Structure 1
Amino acid sequence: MPALTWASDWRITPRITLSEVYSDNPDLVSSSQAKSDWITEITPGISVQRDGGRVKVHADYRMTGLIYASDSSRNDIYHGLDGKAFAELVQDWFYVDATARISQQLREGASTGDTGVVGVGGVGGVGGGVGGGGQVGISGINNTSQVGAYSISPYLKRRLGSFATVEARVTYDDVIASDSQTSDGKTTRYRLSAVSGNLYYPLTWSASYDRSDTNNSDSDDSSDDRAAINARYVLSKDFSLLAQASLEKNDYSGVGEDEEDYKSYGVGVSYTPSRRFSADVFYNDSNADDDDKYISGSVTLNPTLRTSIKASSTQRSYGESYGLNLSHRTRQSTWSLNYQDDLTNSQEQFLNYAGTQYAHNCGGQIIFSNSPVPPAGCFAVPGLNQNINQSQSDETYTSKILSGAVTYTRRRSTFMLSTYLNKRQFQSSGDDEKTYGLQGSWDLKTSPSTTFTLAGGVSKEEYSNGGDGDDLWNLGLVVTHNFDSKVSGNVAFRRQQRSSDQPGESYKENAVAARLNMSF
């Protein structure tokens, strides 16, 4: 039966996944406490898409039922949702953005969760869910809580002739963590912005103001204000003069004097001799106690049509801040390297899908995104997912993430390798957390409909409160067969292991799974 369509705009695709899993340690506990079990998984799901016109919708919902052979009291149902919508309610004037998400997340302080590798379970498990998002992580699910979030953002946006384009937006966010030590959070965000037109050319400018207020159910409330003004005066085809001013005000538990009220302003120059190179450099002054004067800027390089590099450096209320985006592709390979940092919290990270980078193959090029739902025309490559596996926390923290990936395709084989380094510095307790890892996979297409995937990886978790940290590694093999365009199945084997200096945190698991995916 073909996917349902309405007025040739809406595409609705129902599906179901059936699997049987055997694990000798599904709770991911120490060997002395491990109990094996057979687990039946039934996951119906539905995806809804609409592109074009004044309404766009991309939504994927799945409901996973887990049935335990040895202990029926553990049988439960878990929900998963990834949705985004856009509507233009009044043409060229009034718009609405909306997002919604439900998934399982590690509880605060929890350190054991499904690695999600090679089809046995976990977000992005190989073969999980035809055309949809990630499966529920079966192993270690007792250490997770179901977290849901939604965001609705109505806004006015209007072009005022050649003067400017203005925008006024309000956003309501709600993050609900059931059975969790982490607070629920309700956030209201306000944004005003304006970008100049060509009325005053060669002078161009932009201005913005953002404010957010967060009410937490079980911890201190927080708020922040950010304002920025930028101007550019074009002197010639190659040179421009620059000016900027910015303001940050933060109010959260553990905020320091510099973070509470930070101001900066600067002047600079821009040089763009060709489409292959451009650079902006600023000399700035700020009210920081240390390093009040600093140089910031960005450089963009496009040495070839297949290579792009952009690097930036500035200073924020929490200190030096950097950005990096590098991509390169050849006929047989793709390369990427990215770095970003920010002042954030678990609720914001969850709503923005931070913590895991999902890999998708789009026309032979590997694209990473924050959503497990592949973009239109792409398919998931779960063996390359970068799963930072960070637990929830009520604290505000600085997050610094460096990630890289490379793929190489030759005839019937595709080799993929990804790596990441994530640092979190918690502002209230002063604790530091560092996680880093390496994940790789080899896909061998033995026939047009059959693929063998060998995947594995290692990762390390380190904490400032003492100890040597935790070491994790995983290895798995999956055989996937596409019976037709709507039906696929796989058989997967996996071993994962954790070594920890904390009592009761070390574990080993061996698992095997058979899965059938059908879409309608």
Structure 2
Amino acid sequence: MSPLAIGLATGAHAAEWKISPTVNLTETYTDNVKLVPDSQKQSSFITQASPGVDFTATGAQLKMRVNYQMQNLYYTGDANGLKTNHLLNADANSELMKDLFFLDGKANISQQNQSPFASEATNNLNLSNNRVEVRTYSASPYLRHTFDRTASAELRYTRDSVSSSSGGTVNSTGDHISMNINSGTAFQKVKWGFTYDDLKTKFDKSINTIEAETTGVTAGYYLSPRFSLTGTGGYEKNSYVAIDGKKPAGAYWSAGFDWEPTERTSLVFNAGHRFYGSTYSLTAAQRTRATTWSLGYHEDITTTRQQFLVPGSVNTSAFLNQLWQTSVPDPAARQQLVDAFIKSYGLPSSLAQSVNTFSNRVFLQKSLQGSVAITGAQNTLLLSLFSTKRDAQSTDLTPVSSADPALSDRTKQTGANVIWNLVFSPRTSANFTLGYNRADSYSTGVRDNNKMFRAALSRDLQPKLKATLEYRRNQKDSSLSVSDFRENALSVFLLLGF
């Protein structure tokens, strides 16, 4: 038995379990099932039968959430055939020894677009060559201890894996060791910390292992209970071969502040220098009774696999949790409300985000993300905007032969989503989604514009049976006219719970 399974079994007997099976039946008509130019498009009826299960375990030593769905799709017309997708989102934490030894585990299976410069599908129904399955998992045992009021320490090891059906571009495993020691509550004016981080990544088609190692210290000084000055410093080194021939290593530092004027408002800002140049970060949040606002800007050296393991997008569930924190104080009841809302209205797992381009290079990613949620008596409005710029830092890590503009040295993606949910009655509601994103490849001059509109009307036929009628339009306009496409689709959904 694996260490993860042993750890989960340890606390399973004391946990409270909840199991919720579901079945999703859908009939869809699309006039462009493969998302190709008008001269090549084919229509199809798509029948979907998707059994699924959601179960949770909540206890003193175990917290686990698993959602699985088997999406079976049957296509008529020239696309005649059967396709099955597996969707999994699992997350668990187990306390093996009280206040000392813990184990985290995560697993995910999803379907993703692998390039912003190909046909971007908005769901799993279309037969686009750009749609691939991504599988990730991680198991992380760690020691954590608090030394009275003096300090707290954590030593963690993580083994993770990323793979896909795209032919091995990002297939890899990682071994990650991290350690941190931070000051405790005995230090009221001054805070301090020490961090060490070492990540080794092995790609399936490469003989080399990439290593990133960082050693640093953190410090802070409270000018008031709600305002502190912060600073970091240390040394980092990377083993990849840089494009400019320079060694990707050197000392780093940053300085900034952490301001929390009220329990509902926070602002964190830092500016500094790393081996590639000046760097900045910003995290801001504001929450009122009816609104939640967030703004973030971050820069980091990263890879495609790291972005899949730690997504940088705004999680829809977490965002709605903040929005309803005042109206629904109980965390468990609030999470149930959020889960039901997302499932009932078909909301995405994350708000507007860039496509995590399948690349085997190390790149510098600069991301700006802003989101706002507004709720009223019968309305909920979600707005999200993003801008992501990637600059390649390394040569190819594994042999890749592709003309995809996304693999060029410099790319940028910008976009926005608006989601409006309108409740007409306790049993009837409507959902409207409007999305736009643009992808630019500076090296090739290619620019793609994608627009999406979705309108859905839902009604509860019975307490555990919901019906939805949906219209969707997906459109792409590219500087390469051979890549343009238009799609119109109409769907009827039946969601049955048990």
State the TM-score, normalizing by the size of structure 1.
Answer: 0.80
Does 1:47 find its partner at 2:90? no
1:348 paired residue number: 306
Q: Which segment is superposed worse, 239-248 or 15-24?
A: 239-248
Does 1:513 find its partner at 2:471? no
Query: Do the aligned partners of residues 140 and 400 (structure 1) sit closer, same or farther apart at CA in structure 2, a change above 3 Å counting?
Result: farther
Deviation at 1:208, TM superposition (A): 1.4
Structure 1: runs of 5+ lacking an equivalent = 116-121, 123-136, 266-281, 283-295, 368-373
Query: Which residue among 307, 315, 320 is the counterpart of 1:361?
Result: 320
Query: Which residue among 451, 454, 458 is the counterpart of 1:480?
Result: 458
Does 1:449 find its partner at 2:408? no
Q: Which segment is superposed worse, 246-255 or 392-401?
A: 246-255
2:329 paired residue number: none
More relative contact order, 1 or 2 (CA 8 Å, 6+ apart): 1
| Distance (Å, rounded) in 2 between the aligned partners of 1:104 and 1:239 | 43
Secondary structure of the corresponding residue to residue 305 of structure 2: helix
Q: Provide, for residues 94-136 of structure 1, a one-character-per-residue CA deviation record: whole Å limited to 9, x for no partner.
A: 1111110111122357621213xxxxxx2xxxxxxxxxxxxxx
| Distance (Å, rounded) in 2 between the aligned partners of 1:355 and 1:362 | 16
1:414 paired residue number: 380
1:437 paired residue number: 415
Q: Is the 8 A contact 2:226 2:259 kept in 1?
A: no
Query: Which residue among 145, 148, 155 is the counterpart of 2:132?
Result: 145
2:26 paired residue number: 19
Q: Is the 8 A contact 1:356 1:389 kept in 2?
A: no
Q: Is the 8 A contact 2:141 2:157 kept in 1?
A: yes
1:56 paired residue number: 63
1:96 paired residue number: 103
Matched to 1:91, the amino acid is K
Secondary structure of the corresponding residue to residue 361 of structure 1: helix
| Distance (Å, rounded) in 2 between the aligned partners of 1:158 and 1:498 | 53
| Distance (Å, rounded) in 2 between the aligned partners of 1:237 and 1:414 | 35
* TM alignment of 1:197-276, pairs within 5 A: 197=184, 204-219=191-206, 220-231=208-219, 244-254=232-242, 260-264=248-252
Does 1:189 find its partner at 2:176? yes
2:259 paired residue number: 300
Q: Is the 8 A contact 1:112 1:140 kept in 2?
A: no
Q: Is the 8 A contact 1:366 1:407 kept in 2?
A: no
Deviation at 1:446, TM superposition (A): 1.6
Deviation at 1:200, TM superposition (A): 7.7
Matched to 1:93, the amino acid is L
Q: Is the 8 A contact 2:453 2:473 kept in 1?
A: yes
Q: Is the 8 A contact 1:400 1:423 kept in 2?
A: yes
2:475 paired residue number: 497
Query: Do the aligned partners of residues 222 and 376 (structure 1) sit closer, same or farther apart at CA in structure 2, a change above 3 Å counting?
Result: farther
The percentage of counterpart residues that share the same residue type is 29
| Distance (Å, rounded) in 1 between the aligned partners of 2:14 and 2:249 | 53
Deviation at 1:419, TM superposition (A): 1.4
2:357 paired residue number: 391
Structure 2: runs of 5+ lacking an equivalent = 1-11, 327-333, 396-407
Q: Is the 8 A contact 2:137 2:160 kept in 1?
A: yes
Q: Is the 8 A contact 2:352 2:386 kept in 1?
A: yes
State the TM-score, normalizing by the size of structure 2.
Answer: 0.83
Q: Is the 8 A contact 1:58 1:84 kept in 2?
A: yes
Query: Which residue among 381, 401, 408 is the counterpart of 2:367?
Result: 401
Secondary structure of the corresponding residue to residue 393 of structure 1: coil
Secondary structure of the corresponding residue to residue 32 of structure 1: helix
Does 1:311 find its partner at 2:289? no
User: Larger % of helix: which?
Assistant: 2
1:273 paired residue number: none
Secondary structure of the corresponding residue to residue 316 of structure 2: strand
Secondary structure of the corresponding residue to residue 121 of structure 2: coil
Q: Is the 8 A contact 2:229 2:256 kept in 1?
A: no
Secondary structure of the corresponding residue to residue 40 of structure 2: coil
Q: Is the 8 A contact 1:102 1:147 kept in 2?
A: yes
Q: Provide, for residues 384-403 of structure 1, a one-character-per-residue CA deviation record: whole Å limited to 9, x for no partner.
A: 82132333111111222212
Secondary structure of the corresponding residue to residue 348 of structure 1: helix
Q: Is the 8 A contact 1:105 1:392 kept in 2?
A: no
Deviation at 1:234, TM superposition (A): 7.5
Matched to 1:193, the amino acid is N
Query: Which residue among 292, 295, 313 is the counterpart of 1:334?
Result: 292
